[in-house]
Structure 1
């Protein structure tokens, strides 16, 4: 399975948007490990949203679609509605 996902860091008060063909737990583990990159700035990332896709290219397409929104409010609304 392939995933589009959103992480949240309370320490940074920021979201991270990505996609993966790995399990979500494995991908989160890698974000929390010692590495270079945006998510290395904090170690409190949690998965707040995800969608499943048949192919990695569809998950990537969804990632690009959401990133183009450039709207934190729209992102927060999508996350909130998924938790109802």
Structure 2
């Protein structure tokens, strides 16, 4: 699982799907499906949430995803 912050989610997804940066974590593990995202009004809020979530164990992350997206559908088409 990859957790990150971006101001342009569509661009970031395109980069991951096209493996623009082939040595990154997401490229190495073929992570190219958006299954969960949150929007924040400030960069500071988003970064704080990212730091907290990165400390979570995998089970907690899976629980959060499955609460909102039980089938792990690719949500790329739902980005506004």
Gaps of 5+ in 2: 71-80
1: distance between equivalents of 2:31 and 2:37? 17
Which residue is equivalent to 2:13? 28
Pairs aligned (count): 68
Which residue is equivalent to 2:73? none
Shift of 1:54: 0.3
Q: TM-score, normalised by structure 1?
A: 0.70
1: distance between equivalents of 2:20 and 2:68? 30
Q: Deviations over 1:10-54 (max 9, x none)?
A: xxxxx11111111x2211111233313111214451001001000
Is 2:26 aligned against 1:39?
yes
2: distance between equivalents of 1:65 and 1:44? 21
Correspondence 1:57-72 to 2 at 5 A: 57-69=44-56, 71-72=57-58
Q: TM-score, normalised by structure 2?
A: 0.73
